[in-house]
Structure 1
Amino acid sequence: MSRRPASLSRRLGEGASVPFMGSLNPKSRPSPLLSVGLVLVGAFLIIGYVYSGSGGSNGDKAALSRLGGFHHMCTGGVSCTAEINQALPYLKKAYGDSMHKILHVGPDSCEAVSKLSKEEDTEAWGLEPYDLDDSDANCKSLIRRGIVRVADIKFPLPYRSKSFSLVIVSDALDYLSPKYLNKTLPELARVSSDGFVILSGYPGQRRVKVAEMSKFGRPAKLRSSTWWIRWFVEMKLEENEVATKKFEIAAAKKGYQSSCQIFHLKSLN
């Protein structure tokens, strides 16, 4: 998938064409050996077709797997918060020491914080954008200890400037209108010191949690990368080009392709 500053493009391999023998002279009488040869060639072609249809080569399997994954992604829904776990190795390559104190902003923040906290030398905090009706014992414990807070992100975030080295926001900005993005984006830049990362869905994708619509007060508005980049420019937010490059190189080495758009932005000076 072409994600411009975000991630890498998806490519599917093209099947090679099968060469055929030239046409026979209709006036000549085919020899028995030629007939046998044609039968054998036809048999091999049929076997090859059946084999390839069942997933023959590794290249075909990979292409079909990627295609199948994309279909599942579009029809089954996407959680960009869950995508953080997949992107984590490449985020570590991009940010290095800046991963020592992280704030996650978005739904399922308890789960994100629990996973991030398992990383060595990483201190993770969370901000849930809406009230938690049903939360497990672990989430209640994180909230009770103040590690995860519940706050409306349409208003100033309840943290001092540069409280966190890195801020990761997922599945939250898609629900904000431009009016509130004007307020929230600068806040994300304010509370981070080494940059912030936005994970956003692609246009046409279905969100995993339909119930979130009522809690946010509006359905998700999935925007294109062009829309986001134009908005960042209008907000005078700069791309973190160093982090973007490191992330893309690390992802390319492992063939990682995100199901979400990933933007790397600089903090406020």
Structure 2
Amino acid sequence: MWRRPVNPSRRLGDSGGGGLLANSKSRSSPILSVGLIVLGALLFIAYSYGNSGASGNNMEAISRVEGDYSCTAEVQRAIPILKKAYGDSMHKILHVGPDTCSVVSKLLKEEETEAWGVEPYDIEDADTNCKALVRKGVVRVADIKFPLPYRPKSFSLVIVSDALDYLSPRYLNKTLPDLARVSADGLAIFTGYPGHQRARVSDVSKFGRAAKLRSSSWWIRYFIQTNLEENETAVKKFEQAATKRSYVPSCQIFHLKSFH
């Protein structure tokens, strides 16, 4: 049975601090008052940052302005959880999506992990590291509306993010089964929540259209119609690992079985 990804509600802590207590018997200079306010603000910022428990890489992933959140950045944040869910299947991975160079670079730093990427869009503005990955053939630039240049079951796991959101059902009917074709042990899909993202001008000009963010019920119906089955084992392991690490995704994550 399909289980819908939970849409995590954003909990905002009470950030309003108490007012400064004035002592009627003492006279504080304006400079002292301002100094106390600044000190209080600095302490609050330090406390908030400390509680976030975010490393440098994680800060890069979660510091996006709400509405412009990248599920490709979410993939990087979820790698430890994916490793728990897929185990040995994390040894040979294909990532498909915008900014795939950043995901591939991070995966290649993991022990005993081989990784490749498919960038569906233009990389003219890519950095030198990304262009080097393209020259080596580790990352390909390819239109995912057409069959990928890989044999069936070329990769143990295929991860896709931010790419399917820009495809109409007409092209999804070809692309999604093809992604399942080149995977041997599963397919992990990261897609945005409706209402949590809005199209940026740069996105529309780059992708040719705004992202079409679909609900979990829409995706589930689509998976059923295209004979794609939920990978229940991966779902269970992913949820267990996420709970243990207090990981709350900011994107919808679906785990599908490969075509056999």
Match in the other structure for 2:240 = 249
CA contact (8 A) 2:121 2:143 kept: yes
Residue 207 of structure 1, CA deviation: 5.0
Match in the other structure for 1:258 = 249
- Counterpart CA distance in 2 for 1:14 and 1:104 is 35
Residues paired across the two proteins, number: 218
Asked whether 1:88 is paired with 2:79, we answer yes
Change (3 A) 1:12 1:219: closer
Q: Which runs of 5+ in 2 are unaligned?
A: 15-42, 52-62
Normalising by structure 1, report the TM-score. 0.74
Match in the other structure for 1:184 = 175
Match in the other structure for 2:5 = 6
- Counterpart CA distance in 2 for 1:251 and 1:8 is 14
- Counterpart CA distance in 2 for 1:94 and 1:145 is 30
Asked whether 1:193 is paired with 2:184, we answer yes
Change (3 A) 1:144 1:231: same
Residue 92 of structure 1, CA deviation: 0.5
- Counterpart CA distance in 1 for 2:254 and 2:230 is 8
- Counterpart CA distance in 2 for 1:105 and 1:244 is 20
Residue 209 of structure 1, CA deviation: 5.4
Match in the other structure for 2:19 = none
CA contact (8 A) 1:116 1:124 kept: yes
Map residues 2-151 of structure 1 onto 2, 5 A cutoff: 4-7=3-6, 9-10=8-9, 75-151=66-142
Which consecutive segments of 4 or more residues in structure 1 shift more than 3 A?
Answer: 3-15, 72-76, 207-210
Q: Which has the bigger relative contact order, CA under 8 A and spacing at least 6?
A: 1
Change (3 A) 1:11 1:112: closer
- Counterpart CA distance in 1 for 2:244 and 2:7 is 11
AA at the equivalent of 1:122 = T
CA contact (8 A) 1:6 1:264 kept: no
Share of identical aligned residues, percent? Answer: 67
Q: Which runs of 5+ in 1 are unaligned?
A: 16-53, 63-71
- Counterpart CA distance in 2 for 1:12 and 1:135 is 35
Residue 90 of structure 1, CA deviation: 0.8
Q: 1:205 aligns with which of 167, 188, 196?
A: 196
Query: Cα RMSD over matched residues?
Result: 2.8
